[in-house]
Amino acid sequence: MSLVPLIFLIFFEVAGGPYGAEPAVQSAGPLYALLGFLIFPFIWAIPEALVTAELSTAMPGNGGFVVWADRAFGPVSGSLMGTWKYVSGAINGAAFPALCADYLARVVPAVAGGGARVATIVTFNVALSLLNYTGLSVVGWSAVALGVASLSPFVLMTGVALPKIRPHRWGATAGDKDWKLFFNTLFWNLNYWDSVSTMAGEVENPGKTFPTALMASVGMTSLGYLLPLMAATGAIDAPPEQWGNGFFADAAGNYFTHY
């Protein structure tokens, strides 16, 4: 696997776009959300990516974090690490089709609940599972295409919002702050860098390609959150409590067209 597909695969392991960042504004307001996505990458994302790059290049195989734990603490720890990461990945992976359904419901209201929502989530899961069976090369270039499709609306939204931005809006805070939701949102959106270590054995020239791809993905992911948040919070006066999952779609469809 070459550099560009690897960058986008890492991007989708961690983020996939600003989807799901809205609760940071909902829980604490624009000021803390922007500060969080500006500072948290330096506290968590970059150190975790650097650890992943170092260990993946030192032990370039598909065992990844399981091998690290095994070498450091023995086979029991390696087995526990694999089990916990599997459970964590299953739970985390289940959230993304549901989040996609939340956004799709803005366009197709029938998907908001009931059987249509269940069918949409199942379809997402089946389609992505079948894609993974095609092999890493196909998945890698599919990730590039999906990444462009995923980020394009936010690039357009940010461009449209630029003349409407009023910097004073960035200083707003929520009246009743939910710090638990705030920090969970930051952590969930900027975590899982170590998951890509399981692809290290499939990478061309991993000693050079893997660190470069990780650092590029950190930058793309961080800016992918920060710029749309700056655009949306700076261009509209929506109160923090409206910023639930899917609010980016509401902002682009309902606010920018009327301001």
| R_g of the chain computed on alpha carbons | 19
The answer to whether residue 147 is domain-embedded is yes
What's the whole-model pTM score?
0.83
Report residue 146 CA to chain centroid gap: 13
C-alpha separations of 67 from 56, 80, 148, 196, 257 in Å: 10, 11, 33, 13, 52
**CA dist 18 → 100, 193, 200, 221, 249 (Å):** 12, 16, 26, 8, 11
Yes or no: say if 155 and 143 are a contact pair by the CB < 8 Å rule. no
Q: For 62-111, how does the pLDDT look when each residue is reduced to its tens digit (9 = 90+)? A: 888 999 999 999 999 999 999 998 898 888 778 888 888 888 887 788 88
Q: Which long-range contacts (CB under 8 A, 24 or more apart) does 159-163 make?
A: 160/252, 160/256, 161/231, 161/232, 161/234, 161/235, 161/256, 162/231
What integer pLDDT is reported at residue 43 of this predicted model?
92
CB atoms within 10 A of CB 192: 20
In a domain, 103, yes or no: no
In a domain, 168, yes or no: yes
Q: Is the pLDDT of residue 256 over 70?
A: no
Q: Which domain holds residue 26?
A: 3-63+136-255
What are the tens digits of pLDDT across the range 4-58? 998 998 898 888 788 889 999 999 999 999 999 999 999 999 999 999 989 988 8
Residues in CB range of 36: below 8 A, 6 or more apart:
24, 28, 182, 186
- Residue 108 within any structural domain of the chain: no
Q: State yes or no: pLDDT of 259 exceeds 60.
A: no
Task: Please state, rounded to an integer, the average pLDDT across all residues of the chain.
Answer: 88
> Measured between alpha carbons, how far is 207 from 86 in angstroms, rounded to an integer?
26
Q: Residue 85 falls within a domain, yes or no?
A: no
Q: Is residue 80 part of a domain?
A: no
Nearest to 60 by CA among 203, 190, 168: 203
Residues whose CB falls within 8 Å of the CB of residue 80, separated by 6 or more in sequence, listed in order? 69
Is 79 within the bounds of a domain? no
In a domain, 167, yes or no: yes
Please give the share of the chain, as a percent, with pLDDT higher than 70: 98
User: What is the domain count for the chain?
Assistant: 1
